[in-house]
Structure 1
């Protein structure tokens, strides 16, 4: 799938991206910086994409092989230049995920920055993913959550019957931080008061995933 359509003359992203939207090996670790006159973000952010077959539960190794970087941004201008050329989540098909994480943090439970953390989960009816994804990542890069370095990234997961939005933070047992993130989510997404939100630690996710992989089904 072509996730990124951009002009070949777009030099602002050309150093970190191939024309097909993937990072090349030579520039994978090259630091992205704001250009002269641009408005820097407080943190650099990296877009990732993953897709898998639903009937095949992913191990951490196969998941890491399947996920790929599609670009890193360091300024407001770079963000909009990149984001405006990305496919919208609502236009994705199958079992697909977009991730936006601080540069240097992989969107994996096992990453050192995520290991002790968790995520707020919001389940969406079909048709809402694109708007809600835009709102949540704008709030994140705009530092609206006001929890210091706690926020790691956000994920939108496209599924067949519903879509799932989540935001990850570093410290699952910090109730003050997790509550503030929840309240900010309600505000920036304009969620009704009765919206169900679930908080899940990454340790629980790892345990559930391991149990699922080890389950034997008898026919």
Structure 2
């Protein structure tokens, strides 16, 4: 069946398949007698390779992601306790790793539970299919999907100079859409499509701006956010502002499905807006927003 993966993920998938084929070929060579010419039916071997796209339960080849990711979760039910009878209780809980900034964010992070890390398409779907969707989460609950080694806090070294794109949507009008919006936001993040410049082995490609994505459930609205490791300054002339704006456009149009000129603000709703973490601490007109 045709693959629906984006360019980067498709390249990673092909690399995984090539590695599997090499392993099969090497195994066949190991069984041959000295001096014997071993013929390998590569077509037959290829037919034995099963991915999650053609066999969701018995696949034998994984599609690797460019980055490892970690899902975090919190809600009023998790504060000050473990996770009995919560949407992620099926997964073993692990302590917060000693990442840069973790000590400074300890108060904020004490009630956020680290659920599980993954680095392949198959592991992502295994996780996604076993947690409660945002539309069914309790009030004041949050899912945080961040790159491995980065905690969902401003104090983290990867986040402290950055900001976030966010949109707020009325709960009553979007209960039927928020699950798909969150899924597409996660897929765009792990597929590196928000800022398609993942690190290369030679270090020539710029580092991706994206550190994580968040969905928040509140009594009257949902909020979706994309965190970036950098935020443009006033008069920025090095292309960072363009990259940041491209993330917002991709979020609004390709992920959420809104038109470029479509206005969204209204009761309980906002436009797709970017604000640096430093400006988020400011009140009034001092904070400078970018609006798409």
TM norm. shorter chain > 0.5? yes
Residues of 2 paired with 1:65 and 1:206: CA distance?
21
Asked if 1:188 corresponds to 2:212, the answer is no
Residues of 1 paired with 2:142 and 2:282: CA distance?
21
Residues of 1 paired with 2:73 and 2:178: CA distance?
15
Q: How many angstroms does 1:178 deviate by?
A: 1.0
Asked if 1:38 corresponds to 2:62, the answer is yes
RMSD: 2.0
Deviates more, 1:64-73 or 1:195-204: 195-204
Compute the TM-score of the two structures, normalised by the length of structure 1.
0.72
Partner of 1:18: none
Partner of 1:166: 225
Runs of 4+ in structure 1 displaced over 6 angstroms? none
Segments of 5+ residues of structure 1 without an aligned counterpart are 1-34, 54-58, 209-219
Q: How many angstroms does 1:205 deviate by?
A: 2.7
Q: Of the candidates 107, 111, 129, which is equivalent to residue 178 of structure 2?
A: 129
Whether the 8 Å CA contact 1:72–1:103 is kept in 2: the answer is: yes
Q: How many angstroms does 1:131 deviate by?
A: 1.5
Partner of 1:19: none
Whether the 8 Å CA contact 2:74–2:112 is kept in 1: the answer is: yes
Deviation sequence 1:133-182 (CA, Å, 0-9, x none): 01110111112123421101100000000010000011111211210101
Q: How many angstroms does 1:37 deviate by?
A: 2.0
Structure 1 counterpart SS, 2:139: coil
Partner of 2:274: 199
Q: How many angstroms does 1:200 deviate by?
A: 1.2
Q: How many angstroms does 1:63 deviate by?
A: 1.7
Deviation sequence 1:81-133 (CA, Å, 0-9, x none): 11110110110012110010100010101100000000001111220321110
Q: Which has the higher contact order (CA 8 A, sep 6+)?
A: 1
Number of equivalent positions: 169
Compute the TM-score of the two structures, normalised by the length of structure 2.
0.55
Compared with structure 1, are the counterparts of its residues 67 and 206 closer, same or farther at alpha carbon in structure 2 (3 Å cutoff)? Answer: farther
Whether the 8 Å CA contact 2:158–2:229 is kept in 1: the answer is: yes
Whether the 8 Å CA contact 2:75–2:138 is kept in 1: the answer is: no
Q: How many angstroms does 1:50 deviate by?
A: 1.5
